[in-house]
């Protein structure tokens, strides 16, 4: 069994990460998925949350809003609409957008509006969470 796998994170604009990882956690739409080398082939949609992986003992963390991932025994590819390294998240701005999204949700009328606003709220929450966790021990 190999002790690492190749991890790629791709956004519409560019290839963000290409690295060898020993383990990774991806925010599946139905809950977080932990990946170790040799994982069974899997395809999943990603929700708002944190993508983290360990490479050479170093923990890397990114916030994402929506994405899609393919897991293979030796390779994990993540298509993410946006990714943001945890260090670069502006917490106060994220807090603002959370308040805004929550207000919008309260006044939402149609089902469509509710689901859109709800997604905004989740996204803002995910960003705050990722940012606040940045000092979590590696």
State the residues that interact with another protein by CB under 8 A.
Answer: 10-15, 28-30, 33, 40-45, 68, 70, 72, 77, 79, 81-82
Least distance (Å) between residue 34 CB and another protein: 13
Q: Which long-range contacts does 92-96 make (Cβ < 8 Å, 24+ apart)?
A: 94/124, 94/127, 94/128, 94/131, 95/124, 95/128
Nearer to another protein, 1 or 15 (CB): 15
Least distance (Å) between residue 41 CB and another protein: 4
- State how far the Cα of 122 lies from the Cα of 101, in Å rounded to an integer: 9
Least distance (Å) between residue 79 CB and another protein: 6
Structure tokens at 21: 């990882």
């Amino acid at each position: 069994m190999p002790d690492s796998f190749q991890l790629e994170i791709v956004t519409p604009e560019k290839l963000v990460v290409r690295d060898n990882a020993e383990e990774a956690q991806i925010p599946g739409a139905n809950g977080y998925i932990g990946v170790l080398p040799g994982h069974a082939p899997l395809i999943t949609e990603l929700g708002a949350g944190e993508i983290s992986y360990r490479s050479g003992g170093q923990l890397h963390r990114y916030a994402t809003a929506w994405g899609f991932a393919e897991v293979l025994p030796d390779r994990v590819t993540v298509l993410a609409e946006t990714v943001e390294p945890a260090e670069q998240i502006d917490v106060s701005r994220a807090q603002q957008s959370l308040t805004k999204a929550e207000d919008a949700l309260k006044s939402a009328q149609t089902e469509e509006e509710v689901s859109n606003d709800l997604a905004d709220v989740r996204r803002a929450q995910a960003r705050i969470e990722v940012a606040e966790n940045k000092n979590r021990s590696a």
